[in-house]
Amino acid sequence: MVNEKLKNAIEERDNSVTNKLSRLNEINKKIEKLEERLMNDALEASTYKNLFKKFSAERALLLKEIETLKKNKDDRWKRLEKLLSELTDLNALYEKIKPVSAKISMIKGGQT
């Protein structure tokens, strides 16, 4: 059950990266069209500057979000998966506990 939740969380993160990459592609296309329109004199320079600034800011934000999602996926999820597998093995966890009072506390569900 825990592993399923972890896999679902990883899939959600992957879907988020895919969606952001798609949005980034759309922004890049908008910037290209904007530049074409400027070259063809179909757009005022001031309008181009405003729109370019807007699209560039959105693009930078998406790039940062994608970088963060990818970095976290590679590092944090691997460590979390390892820890979860250790924590879900209650017998091994019980055996690692040294003081008897801590074992009793574990059995009682953390209540003293």
- What is the tens place of the pLDDT at every residue in 67-101? 988 876 656 667 777 777 766 666 776 677 777 77
Which tokens is 75 given? 């590092």
Top-confidence residue, 31 or 102 = 31
CA distances from 99 to 89, 92, 104 (A): 19, 15, 9
